[in-house]
Amino acid sequence: MSLTAKVMAGMVLGLIVGVVFNMMDSAFINTHVVGGLFAMIGKMFVNALKMLVVPLVLFSLLCGVMGIGDIRVLGRVGGKSLALYIFTTAIAIAVAIALALLIGPGEGFDMAGVDTAGVTGAEAPSVWDVFAGIIPTNPVSAFANGDMLQIIFYAIVLGIAALMLGDASEGFYEGCQYMNELMMKVVVIVMAFAPYGVFCLIAKTFAEQGIDLFIPVMAYVATLVGALFLHLFVTLMIILKVFSGLNPMIFIRKIRPAQIFAFSTASSNATIPVTLRCVTERMGANNSVASFTVPFGATINMDGTAIMQGVATVFLANVYGIDLGLGGYLTVIAMAVLASIGTAGVPGVGLVMLTMVLTQVGLPIEGIALIIGVDRLMDMIRTAVNITGDAVVTAIVAKTEGEFDLSVYEDPDAGLIVGDEIHVEEMHTPHPHAHPNPAE
């Protein structure tokens, strides 16, 4: 079995086990199995993925910048990526608002009995703060905190400086290439444990959440899932076809492993290693482009989160009987795009961004209490949409820059991870006490 098949099997088994445990409602199982064993293994797996992110992004970006070799080309790649990410996010939330207005979730909803205590808002960052925060005051702190925008900025500056030094940087470049290959091998090791990690993450989520939470807000959930799938399978695939000419069916098949990991972890940042592997080894995008666009997208591209904000805003406006009008919804679109640039790709960040949007358009943030219960499961789906958008933009930029191998893209077996991929190659290193020349 391929790794993807094993992970999908783990996901399905986790869903079944989680729902069964939720129905059993056993104190022992909830405490020791779900909250103990499953939580421990799931957290260990997510931590292992996060462990890869910073060194992988750093060395991959350095190789990419030095591999491009031309600062003007780098600027072009960055400009295209930023424009496409903002464009797809704006399209995503506009489609979501239109669909939500058509369906009308939340109309006639009774707020009685809803506990709204403990819901607090977050202040929206200004445009100036967002862009000023890109430059790190302390690179070591940025690496320690996993601040992706600052890490990307620092790596690009470091790569440009290495290019300016010319031949003197040859050893540094070879060292970065080795570290990049080394980190990809670490990815393979971590991936070997993925089926078990995914099983525990999914089982824990469904054991804790259950199905009952969906019933009161079924219209919201149905509208949100419909909008997410519409963007994933229609809007993004049209954008891919129009701008790159690539076959969307092949794309969907090849991005599936990254989508599964995104669904399991609900974190775009934790999925970076898998997304990078999918777009380079499975699809054929050159690492010089992908190493920039993927971590950049995981930080600023929040298509799924923007869709949630659009649907949730319409839902809460209907619940409270408030007509936002065209100006209000245009404000929502602008706020969602701005908030996505300045927010990290970690679980639960969508609710923080939603409080900014609701405050801006004058809706009571207490209404978030209605959707908190189902947000974890919705977060899993929208993260899968987020990383799909990252991969679409990566494919488009790589294709338009001539940094895309079509033969790899059309090969169904390219980059597949199989069970026997972890093996140890013998290193022919001399014993430290051995004589250099046995004949003497």
- Three-state secondary structure along 79-115? HHHHHHHHHHHHHHHHHHHHHHHHHCCCCCCCCCCCC
**Are the C-beta atoms of 220 and 312 separated by less than 8 Å?**
yes
pLDDT of residue 124: 55
Residue 215 has pLDDT above 80, yes or no: no
What is the C-alpha separation between 104 and 401, in angstroms, rounded? 43
pLDDT value of position 126: 63
| Confidence band of 438 (pLDDT split at 50, 70, 90) | very low
Position 422 scores a pLDDT of 55
Answer with the residue of higher pLDDT: 10 or 209.
10
d(CA 274, CA 277): 5
pLDDT reading at 338 higher than 90: no
More confident residue, 128 or 41: 41
Q: Average pLDDT, stretch 192-197? A: 87
CA distance 101 to 374: 21
Between 367 and 273, the higher pLDDT residue: 273
The amino acid that residue 218 corresponds to is M
The reported pLDDT for the residue numbered 116 is 47
- Kindly state the helix (H) or strand (E) to which residue 339 belongs, with its residue range: helix 325-341
DSSP states along 234-277: IIHHHHHHHHH---HHHHHHHHHHHHHHHHHH--TTTTHHHHHH
Residue 140, classified by CB atoms within 10 Å of its CB into exposed (0-12), middle (13-18) or buried (19+), is: exposed
* Inter-residue contact 252 to 4 (CB < 8 Å): no
Q: Once rounded to an integer, what is the mean pLDDT over residues 429-439?
A: 51
Nearest CA to 374 out of 230, 270, 222 is that of 222
> Alpha carbon 106 to chain centroid distance?
29
Chain-centroid distance, C-alpha 419: 25
Which pLDDT does position 349 carry in this prediction?
64
User: What is the Cα 412 distance to its own chain's centre?
Assistant: 24
pLDDT score of 13: 92
Token pair belonging to 110: 């009774």
pLDDT at position 248 is: 95
Non-local (6+) Cβ contacts of 163 within 8 A are 65, 66, 69, 71, 169
Q: CA 7 to CA 24: how far, in whole Å? A: 25
Say if residues 309 and 332 touch (Cβ distance below 8 Å): yes
Band (pLDDT 50/70/90 cuts) for residue 37 is very high
φ, ψ for residue 418, nearest 5 deg:
-115, 170
What does the block give as tokens for 378? 């919705």
Which pLDDT tens digit goes with each residue over 133-191? 788 999 999 898 877 778 888 988 998 899 888 889 899 999 998 998 898 888 888 88
Which DSSP symbol is given to 138?
-
Q: Are 314 and 109 in contact (CB under 8 A)?
A: no
Average pLDDT value for the chain: 82
Lowest mean pLDDT among 143-152, 324-333, 353-362: 353-362
- Report pTM: 0.79
Which amino acid belongs to residue 366?
Answer: E
pLDDT given for residue 227 in this prediction: 94
Which backbone phi and psi does 200 adopt, to 5 degrees? -65, -40
Closest Cα partner for 377 from 156, 138, 187, 213?
213
- Domains of the chain are 3-418 (1.10.3860.10)
Position of tokens 């949630």? 308
Asked if 47 and 346 touch (Cβ cutoff 8 Å), the reply is no
Query: Among the listed ranges 44-48, 120-124, 155-159, 410-414, which one has the minimum average pLDDT value?
Result: 120-124
CB 136 within 8 Å of CB 142 = yes
Planar angle of CA 370, 371, 376, nearest 5 degrees:
150
- The more confidently predicted of residues 119 and 157 is 157
Distance of CA 22 to the CA centre of its chain: 28
